[in-house]
A = this chain, B = another copy of it.
Amino acid sequence: MSSRAAQPALKTPVSANGKRGGNGQARHQEQDIEVGLDGLIGHAGYAVRRFQIWIFQDFIRTLAAVDIKPTQYSVLTVIGANPGLSQMAVAKRLGIERARLVHLLDSLEDRKLVRRVQSRTDRRSHALHLTARGQASLRQFKLLAAEHERHVAEKIGAENREQLLRILSAFT
């Protein structure tokens, strides 16, 4: 571990401020002081959560001009690769609830990127297709997404990114 005690240490680098030379002048520099994470370091979940936040923010920023968020991109990509899928199938594949997918598709349909076509084989379900505009747009989105992916590579290193994809390939 790094510097600080791993156990219930009552002393801490941060609170030193309170005891030390104790003149009443407390300048607000607490923010600069190193705050120990203790047990949090070594937790995969914490690192993954922080990384996921970063990566989503970069995706949103990179695709801000076209106003496409990660979930929307994933829906468009799956429909583009598998035209005619039902909403249930898309939801299942992406781990989205069908109730949520309804709103996502409403938005994408409003933007004329997706069409819900009544299925002839099952009148309950809708066959999902990209419109011509949706296909053209998706091509552009993919270019921007590739740029985002380059940002990731810059951030963590190209070979680290490869390793990451390999390690997490089971979750796709």
Residue of B nearest to A121 (CB): B26
Q: How far is the CA of A9 from the CA of B77 in the complex (A)?
A: 12
Query: Could you tell me the distance in whole angstroms from the C-beta of A113 to the nearest C-beta in chain B?
Result: 13
Query: Could you tell me the distance in whole angstroms from the C-beta of A36 to the nearest C-beta in chain B?
Result: 4
Known: A2-B121, A77-B40. A14 touches B84 (CB 8 A): yes
Known: A121-B3, A121-B17, A121-B26. A12 touches B44 (CB 8 A): no
Query: Could you tell me the distance in whole angstroms from the C-beta of A12 to the nearest C-beta in chain B?
Result: 5
Mark A residues whose CB is within 8 Å of B: 1-10, 12-15, 17-18, 23-24, 26, 28, 30-31, 33, 35-56, 59, 70, 74, 77-78, 80-86, 88-90, 92-93, 95, 119-122, 125, 127, 129, 135, 138-139, 142, 145, 148-149, 152, 155-157, 160-161, 163-165, 167-172
A–B Cβ pairs within 8 angstroms, 18 of them: A1-B122, A2-B125, A5-B89, A8-B139, A9-B81, A12-B82, A13-B80, A17-B84, A35-B78, A35-B93, A36-B81, A38-B78, A44-B55, A45-B55, A46-B172, A155-B170, A156-B168, A163-B167
Q: A1-B121, A15-B135, A50-B95 are in contact. List 17 more A-B contacts (CB 8 A).
A: A2-B121, A7-B83, A14-B82, A24-B121, A30-B88, A35-B90, A35-B93, A36-B78, A40-B172, A44-B164, A45-B55, A46-B74, A47-B165, A48-B164, A51-B171, A53-B95, A164-B164
